Structure 1
Amino acid sequence: MSERPVLLPYADPAFVADPFPLYRQLREDGPVRRAVIAGGLEAWLVTRYDDGLAALSDPRLSSDVRDASDTRLLQQLPETERESMLSNMLRSDPPDHTRLRRLVSKAFTARRVAGMRPRIQSLTDHFLDAVVPAGRADLVADFALPLPVTVISELLGVPVDDRHDFQHWTDRMIMRGAQPPDPAVVDEAWQHMRGYVTGLVQAKRAQPGDDLLSGLVTARDEEQQLTEDELIAMVFLLLAAGYITTVNLIGGGIATLLAHPDQLALLRSAPELLPGAIEEFLRYDGPVSPGIARFAREDVEIAGVAVPRGATVLIASAIADRDPARFPDPDRLDITRQDNAHLAFGHGIHYCLGAPLARLEGQIAIGTALRRLPGLALAVPPDEIRWRPGGLRGPESLPVTFTPGG
């Protein structure tokens, strides 16, 4: 394609708050568009549903950033730790991906996750208990953030008191905006995170428990199923991925409901609609935007467009999930929508391992908040809500008021 790449204007607060008008235009312009995305990187956006679905299962598109021709992608990782950070299942392909995913998949089966319901409900009530008497809260800082952080910490066997540290380091490593990240900041954050995770691993070696991290240490030390770098990278991935997108699902889902009072009223009156409502939040304005990165191992053709070897291909799930060829009236929020096979969790071998847990946390958190916070409303005008600038989408804070309770 010869046209100049379109700029996704992450420096523009209006775009960050509502990227969907531009997304719609990109989809209408063509199925594959060159674009400058977060961090100033160039990518080929796959904008339509059927093409995106196919691309997510195309073995010619790699998850390994080392297959990318744009060296800036690697330069955004800490120089001394690039191999370590890339040794995780999110950024690997078979057979390594298959081996690594198998080590943790049992912890995230639907049956195991369903068994976590009582504890997630208890934690949800705990965090709401702290704000109910006041009649006002920041539902991100007070609720949507600490809930999934605590859940993944307990699952892994990580001290919950440490969550503020690893959350801070993670944010510094993954936050993206209009400009490339500062390599020194990323490197410093990763050095702190690696030191922290190394200490956790040593603690589990000395005193193993009945938790996922202890199981991974056993797989490393006794069964030789992964290397030390892979172990460190796995723990970091599970910590980070285990809470970031769920925070955005909960906070973004509540923000979306407050912007659609008819759907809020419907869900309050019919809480049995919650599972379908979660799927609609994921489709309508999900926590990953614009989408999922892959890298062309060879010259490929996508929707009739020639994409060169080494190109960054961004399967734009946030754009494809509003494709009118797949979803009728796609720009309308409809929590009763049927046949809602969105791409927010990906597709194929890299389908999000934590999807059952994220769904359950979203259902319990949003359902309980609606039940326990009568009169829920934004405490600021909608245009004052600040959204995360790139890659991961959700409100940075969500100030609300509600009827105080005992």
Structure 2
Amino acid sequence: MAIEEVLTDPAFRADPHPVYAQWRRTGPVRLARLPNGLDAWLVTRYDDARKALADPRLSKAVHAVPGGSVNAAVSHHMLAVDPPDHTRLRRLVSATFTARRIEALRPRIEQITDELLDGMAGREQVDLIDAFAFPLPIQVICELLGIPSDDRDDFRAWSNVLVNGAQFDKERPGALTAMIAYIKALIAQRRETPGDDLLSGLIGVRDQEDRLTEDELSSMVFLLLIAGHETTVNLIGNGAHVLLTDRSRWERLRADPGLLPSAIEEFLRFEGPVETSTFRIATEPLEIGGTTVPAGAVVLVVLLSANRDEQRFPGADDVVLDRSQNPHLAFGHGIHYCLGAPLARLEAQVAFTKLMDRFPDLRPAGADLSWRPGILIRGLSSLPVRL
């Protein structure tokens, strides 16, 4: 089988949807060369994607990926292990990352949002990513973990290097080393002076005699910092882009705020913040969508494509703000379903409610937009708007 080479094409990065639509029609499971040079099988149809995300024969053990091994201090988290380790880790983290703790953040999220909008007021034009979509979730996750918000720019720099494309490979070891050192120092400090924050809770959590090891603890902080803001940055940025590219959507949502919960689900489906799943490894030969994937192969589920599958979503290429049946895969599926999904939804609801209320005449300030490199994250590098 020929290996698809399109993933590094700038035109594909700008708009991958037509290519994915063609693949869903003509060959929904394809071998493709990733930007880092690794070959992987891409799963593009909804039904196949949903099954693959829950298939125990597709292992999440990242150490099995050629060239994919990472420092032990950041590789022992829930996204990188299989049961029974995954079951234990998720249980321990869920004990502190509770619905009550998330809902209790609402007043503070509203306050942070108001402060950011205050900072934008009076300016003719801003970059909505820099001024709003990024600082809101990074400040929330930093406060949730008990991390000084003054360090958020460092996290953004490290995160960009770690999740973006292959052109950042030379910078990746330095960014990873710096982030690990920071996390370990933070854990040591919080162990000495615990507080009422998620990190202190993770340090102290135990289930009978079970608790997080040092590597599991630093890995979990690493995961929460990156996943805890990357998804929401791009949910807010992509959602704003979807609304502003068709004025009728913006006006309809302003006129009927009750549509916001379903609109956010539609943003997640139509232009979700995560393009592909993280690596899975076939532990045996298996058939996906009529194609046999060999043992040892890397498999990536293309969430962005599955969520535009016409077989599952009528009018998949249309934005339907009141779509009632919307079982999208933007937060994954199965045992690895995103633990932070309720927090991302809460932040997005507060963000869009207040943004539309404060700046009802918000307009795009340019059509020449660039999307972030790499195929893991789907998000804009910037979104210039007129206030």
One-letter code of the match for 2:6? Answer: L
The answer as to whether partners of 1:263 and 1:334 remain within 8 angstroms in 2 is no
Deviation at 1:198, TM superposition (A): 1.0
Structure 1: runs of 5+ lacking an equivalent: none
SS state of the match for residue 201, structure 2?
helix
The answer as to whether partners of 2:61 and 2:280 remain within 8 angstroms in 1 is yes
Report the number of matched residues: 386
Q: Does 1:378 align with 2:364?
A: yes
- For 2:88 and 2:77, locate their aligned partners in 1 and report how far apart those are by CA, in whole Å: 11
One-letter code of the match for 2:283? Answer: R
| Structure-1 residue corresponding to 2:68 | 73
Q: Does 1:87 align with 2:76?
A: yes
- For 2:383 and 2:171, locate their aligned partners in 1 and report how far apart those are by CA, in whole Å: 27
Q: Does 1:397 align with 2:382?
A: yes
SS state of the match for residue 314, structure 1?
strand
SS state of the match for residue 289, structure 1?
coil
The answer as to whether partners of 2:128 and 2:237 remain within 8 angstroms in 1 is yes
Deviation at 1:107, TM superposition (A): 4.0
Q: Does 1:105 align with 2:89?
A: no
Q: Does 1:348 align with 2:334?
A: yes
| Structure-2 residue corresponding to 1:366 | 352
Distance change in 2, residues 1:121/1:264 (3 Å): same
Q: Does 1:198 align with 2:196?
A: no
Where does 1:294-373 land on structure 2 (aligned, <5 Å)? 294-373=280-359
| Structure-2 residue corresponding to 1:209 | 195
One-letter code of the match for 2:337? Answer: Y
| Structure-2 residue corresponding to 1:151 | 140
| Structure-2 residue corresponding to 1:9 | 7
The answer as to whether partners of 2:128 and 2:383 remain within 8 angstroms in 1 is yes
SS state of the match for residue 306, structure 1?
strand
| Structure-2 residue corresponding to 1:167 | 156
| Structure-2 residue corresponding to 1:141 | 130
Deviation at 1:371, TM superposition (A): 1.2
- For 2:99 and 2:185, locate their aligned partners in 1 and report how far apart those are by CA, in whole Å: 31
- For 2:343 and 2:95, locate their aligned partners in 1 and report how far apart those are by CA, in whole Å: 12
- For 2:155 and 2:104, locate their aligned partners in 1 and report how far apart those are by CA, in whole Å: 26
118, 121, 130: which one aligns with 1:129: 118
The answer as to whether partners of 2:74 and 2:219 remain within 8 angstroms in 1 is yes
- For 1:47 and 1:131, locate their aligned partners in 2 and report how far apart those are by CA, in whole Å: 39
- For 2:60 and 2:381, locate their aligned partners in 1 and report how far apart those are by CA, in whole Å: 28
One-letter code of the match for 1:394? Answer: G
Q: Does 1:274 align with 2:269?
A: no
| Structure-2 residue corresponding to 1:115 | 104
- For 2:82 and 2:154, locate their aligned partners in 1 and report how far apart those are by CA, in whole Å: 30
The answer as to whether partners of 1:251 and 1:395 remain within 8 angstroms in 2 is yes
Deviation at 1:10, TM superposition (A): 2.7
One-letter code of the match for 1:105? Answer: S
Where does 1:170-189 land on structure 2 (aligned, <5 Å)? 170-177=159-166, 179=167, 181-182=168-169, 184-189=170-175
One-letter code of the match for 2:291? Answer: V
Instruction: Give CA-to-partner distance per residue, 1:342-393, whole Å, 9 cap, x none.
Output: 001000000000000001111111221111112111111x2x1111122101
SS state of the match for residue 33, structure 1?
strand
- For 1:367 and 1:297, locate their aligned partners in 2 and report how far apart those are by CA, in whole Å: 46
Instruction: Give CA-to-partner distance per residue, 1:300-322, whole Å, 9 cap, x none.
Output: 11122110111111111111111
One-letter code of the match for 2:112? Answer: L
20, 24, 27: which one aligns with 1:27: 24
Structure 2: runs of 5+ lacking an equivalent: none
Distance change in 2, residues 1:292/1:325 (3 Å): farther
- For 2:73 and 2:184, locate their aligned partners in 1 and report how far apart those are by CA, in whole Å: 12
- For 2:191 and 2:276, locate their aligned partners in 1 and report how far apart those are by CA, in whole Å: 40
- For 2:36 and 2:351, locate their aligned partners in 1 and report how far apart those are by CA, in whole Å: 32
| Structure-1 residue corresponding to 2:51 | 54
RMSD: 1.8
SS state of the match for residue 300, structure 2?
strand
SS state of the match for residue 400, structure 1?
strand
Where does 1:256-267 land on structure 2 (aligned, <5 Å)? 256-267=242-253
Provide the TM-score with structure 2 as the length reference: 0.95
The answer as to whether partners of 2:278 and 2:300 remain within 8 angstroms in 1 is yes
Instruction: Give CA-to-partner distance per residue, 1:65-104, whole Å, 9 cap, x none.
Output: 2233xx2223xx4xxx2x2222111111111111111122
Q: Which runs of 4+ in 1 moved over 6 A?
A: none
The answer as to whether partners of 1:284 and 1:321 remain within 8 angstroms in 2 is yes
Distance change in 2, residues 1:8/1:291 (3 Å): farther
The answer as to whether partners of 1:242 and 1:354 remain within 8 angstroms in 2 is yes
Deviation at 1:171, TM superposition (A): 1.7
Deviation at 1:117, TM superposition (A): 1.3
The answer as to whether partners of 1:49 and 1:320 remain within 8 angstroms in 2 is yes
Q: Does 1:96 align with 2:85?
A: yes
Identical amino acids, percent of aligned pairs: 51
Distance change in 2, residues 1:247/1:67 (3 Å): same
| Structure-1 residue corresponding to 2:272 | 286
- For 1:40 and 1:232, locate their aligned partners in 2 and report how far apart those are by CA, in whole Å: 29
Instruction: Give CA-to-partner distance per residue, 1:315-337, whole Å, 9 cap, x none.
Output: 11111111111000100011111
One-letter code of the match for 1:285? Answer: E
